[in-house]
Amino acid sequence: MRSDTRTAWPASLLDPSSMREMFCRTACRQPQQKMAGRGQTMVIDKGLGMHAFTDLLETAGSYIDCLKLGFGTAPLYPIDLLLNKIELAKRHGLIVMPGGTLLEAAVQQEAVPAFFETVCRLGFNGIEVSDGTIELSRQQRSALIREGVRSGLRVVSEYGKKLSGSIIEADELAFTADADWNAGAELVTIEARESGKGVGLFDEDGECREDVLDSICRIIPDFSRIMWEAPLKNQQVLLLCMLGANVHLGNIPPSDTLTLETMRRGLRSDTFSLGKQQEELLHYMI
């Protein structure tokens, strides 16, 4: 039987930040509030086989909250493999969802009812509502979110375009986020694509547009329902240092799941002093 690392190591070495484990215990007592509790980690799966998928969940499943089968990959899996991945993810207590691009394709193909029927029949328990590639009216976007909620799914929406050079407009983000939350979305994700370059918060080199981040922080001071796509290490470090260990981060590559958790806890040199900042930054996450 696999031992629990929480009993194998001194508590001071498990979480030097002193905050991460407190949030984990709170989330475990209140699973219905998990998506809005401690800092969430959304991992993007771009085509893992079952062995790699199983290894990921055995090694780092405790540190994943949401697992997205990226883009439109879900229909391309052999059905038995897809069902096994969904079942295993849910067994680990994860939200598992297809990528938002698949729902955008369903809108374009006029197949939205079939999309929701199939998602529920296959056992997904979440969806991503986005318009990164197509254009959705505000009415359409809200209707899709509400349909997801009516179908018993956890809904994460996404703000931003996938076109290279797209930049976040803070005022528009705030308006969209409020409308999405009112429609039933639990988190609003800020687009950065899986490359982390040339879109949204990040420039062509993957560096943060700090003026954009500053404007977002002024208009949306509470990030408890905002998730930032940050697939690159330097992006994760910056957001952790600026917004705290419990900032929600998405589009994390599977191989970086455990690494991100060490940075959240101050167990890597990049964020070694993170724990000293937690009391000042805690109000962002609760």
DSSP single-letter state for residue 155: E
- Neighbour-count burial of 249, counting CB atoms closer than 10 A to its CB (0-12 exposed, 13-18 middle, 19+ buried): buried
pLDDT of residue 150: 98
Quickly tell me which residue has 């079942």 as its tokens. 87
66 beta partners: 42, 95
Q: Give the tens place of pLDDT for each residue, 226-248.
A: 999 999 999 999 999 999 899 99
Q: Give the tens place of pLDDT for each residue, 7-23.
A: 688 888 888 877 776 55
More confident site: 52 or 24: 52
Tell me the two tokens of residue 113: 């009812």
Compute the average pLDDT of residues 177-196: 94
More confident site: 159 or 165: 159
Q: Give the tens place of pLDDT for each residue, 27-65.
A: 443 434 444 458 999 999 999 999 999 999 999 999 999
Q: Which residues contact 145 (CB under 8 A, 6 or more apart)?
A: 129, 155, 157, 180, 183, 184, 185
Tell me the two tokens of residue 178: 């409020």
Q: Give the tens place of pLDDT for each residue, 111-164.
A: 999 999 999 999 999 999 999 999 999 999 999 999 999 999 999 999 999 888
Q: Give the tens place of pLDDT for each residue, 99-114.
A: 999 999 999 999 999 9
Amino acid at 83: L
pTM for this entry = 0.89
Compute the average pLDDT of residues 268-286: 64
Q: Give me the domains of the chain, ranges plus CATH numbers.
A: 34-284 (3.20.20.70)
Instruction: List the one residue out of 249, 250, 247, 244 whose CA is nearest residue 273.
Output: 244
Q: Is the pLDDT of residue 285 over 70?
A: no
Q: Is the pLDDT of residue 84 over 80?
A: yes
